[in-house]
Each structure stands twice: as structure tokens, then as C-alpha cells.
Amino acid sequence: MSLSSAILQVRNLSVSFGKLKAVDNISFDVNRGVIHGFIGPNGAGKTTTIRVISTLQVPDSGGVWVGGMNVLTHPNEIRSKLGYMPDHVGVYSGLSVLEYLDFFALARRIFGSKKQSVISDVVELTGLGDLLDREVESLSKGMRQRLCLAQTLLHEPDLLILDEPASGLDPRARIEFRELILELRRLGKTVFLSSHILSELSPICDSVSIIETGNIVAHGPLEEIQDRMSKGVTSFEVTLLKDPNEDVEALLSQLPSLSLKMIQGRKFRFEWNGEVEGVAKVWELLSVNGFVISSISKKEDDLENIFMSLTTGEVQ
């Protein structure tokens, strides 16, 4: 299996639990240095797939390669390159933040000056410097998530698997955690991120996989999925400087590639079914007839709309 540009390769993966097929012959790649969203309804097969990738679940058939290594034949090597943060992470009572990180560093066989260095680095990255003497149990949910991410980073993994990392966080903590994820990408990490908070994923993901009833229903860069779903139709929203004194609808009906969807006061929305460059005819027609444009925005399907269009919420 060649490395190519992919750090993660999933091929014909299937996992069953008795008669239940949790994952059904799925395949996808995740490139290096990206944030990849892995989304689906509850019971769709997300956690099962993540467990196989993380060397915690043996598949029925198919395979997973991380950095070119098979998870079944090289689990120990993969664990040294992979950081897994599950959706529910336990803490140890009586330990301070520093003691917690020290414990996990030793568990990773990181000793001496190297241990001090990596703990210092993850503490700085996650903003835990003022909390080192605090007991882990006393931390807020947001700070616990930061601490769990810090221990996930101790062995400097190339690939991070984050399963619902923003679950239960308040809005401020979610925004701050999102900035942490973006910083990890800037540092060259690959982040495989499962979440049900789609509004949090859409602005940061380079690519996504959508899974339902154990099947991948969409995969790739978000823009490519949007283009495939639009089927060559592009939507625009236009705001005029003043309320039109003439019938904009009659004017725009002269363009056969244009379908007017909404008009309200100074604002109207339309779909353009043709070459995107040809939409300049709309601006020219408005200008010639004395309409001054205040703003133009191209309307894209966001991740929530794509998800709702491609899934039904069914479980196995």
C-alpha cells in the first residue's frame, strides 16, 4: 500500500456485531495536514470505524492503513504515530494537572528532559499553564477537554482522532477548542474529527466523509460535494441600494439561465443554470436599467444542509 498524499487509507472495511452490520464495505482516504470531518447520525457506524482506525477493533474484512502501515499487522507502530481522544475521557481522582500529564508521559515511555520538554510544549499549546497545581476533578468541562487533548499530544502523533471533542462544551469553550484544532493543523497535524455539531465543523474542515447505516454517502473536499449537489446550479443573493421602482422580476425574466427564487424589498435571490462567468449578464442588465447593487453573495449549501439532504437519520 503506497503512502501517496494520504496518511489514512480505509479499504472495503466491514464490521459486524452478530447480525448487525455496523460498517458495510466502506473506503476513503484522508490526506496529510488536513482537518477531516467524519459525520453521521447516531448508530451510523462512526465510532466503530474510529475504533478500527485506532487499533481497538478488529474488522471482519477490509483494512485500514495509517502512514502506510496496516492496523492489524503493525498496531504498536501505529499507536506511536496516532493520538486518540475518545468522546468520554476519564480522569484520576487526587491527581493535579501536572501529575496527570506526568503519568501519561511515563506511560508513553517518555523520560527525563524529553518528558519535561513535551509537557511544557503541550501545556503552552493548550493554555493550561495556570492550572498545573489544580486537581483534575476540579476542572471545568472545557478545561478537562484541553487536558485530555494535551495528554493525547504528548507523544507527538502525526494523526489525531478526536471523537466528539466539543460535546457538552458551552459556546465559548467550543470556539476556543476550535481554535486549538486550527492551530494543530497549522503545526502540520492531521485531524480526523467526529462531531454532531455541524456548525462547528463547516468553517474548519478541509474535507468530510458522511456515513449512514454503515455506508459512506459522500466523501471529499466540502466544495466538491457542494458542486456535485448543486448540479451546475449556482445561487446568488443580491441587495440593491434602493427599493426598485420597476419590476425586477420582469427584467430578469429576459435571461433564460436565471430562475428567480425570492424577491423582498431591496433583496432578491436567484439560481443561475449556466456557466458561472455568464452571470455577469445579470449585473450588466441591472446596471443598464439604472439599478445600483449594494451587495452580492454567492449562496453555498453549508454542511448542515448537505447532511440533511444526504441522510435520513436511520440506524441499523
Q: How far is CA 169 from CA 128, 140, 164, 178, in A?
A: 17, 9, 10, 11
Domain 231-303: which topology?
Alpha-Beta Plaits (3.30.70)
Q: How far is CA 258 from CA 32, 227, 285, in A?
A: 40, 18, 12
Q: What are phi and psi of 144, to 5 degrees?
A: -65, -40
Query: Other C-beta atoms within 10 Å of 147: how many?
Result: 24
CA angle, 96 then 99 then 101, to 5°:
110
Kindly report the CATH number that applies to the domain delimited by 6-221. 3.40.50.300
Domain with CATH 3.30.70.1560 in the chain: 231-303
Q: Which residues contact 228 (CB under 8 A, 6 or more apart)?
A: none
Report pTM. 0.78
pLDDT 10s digit of each residue in the chain, 316 long?
444 689 999 999 999 999 999 999 999 999 999 999 999 888 899 999 999 999 999 999 999 999 999 999 999 999 999 999 988 777 778 899 999 999 999 999 999 999 999 999 999 999 999 999 999 999 998 899 999 999 999 999 999 999 988 877 888 888 899 999 999 999 999 999 998 777 778 789 999 999 999 999 999 987 788 767 656 677 888 999 988 866 888 899 999 999 898 888 899 988 888 787 888 999 999 999 999 999 998 766 667 777 777 777 655 5
Domain with CATH 3.40.50.300 in the chain: 6-221
DSSP labels for 95-123? -BHHHHHHHHHHHTT--HHHHHHHHHHHH
Mean residue pLDDT across the chain: 89
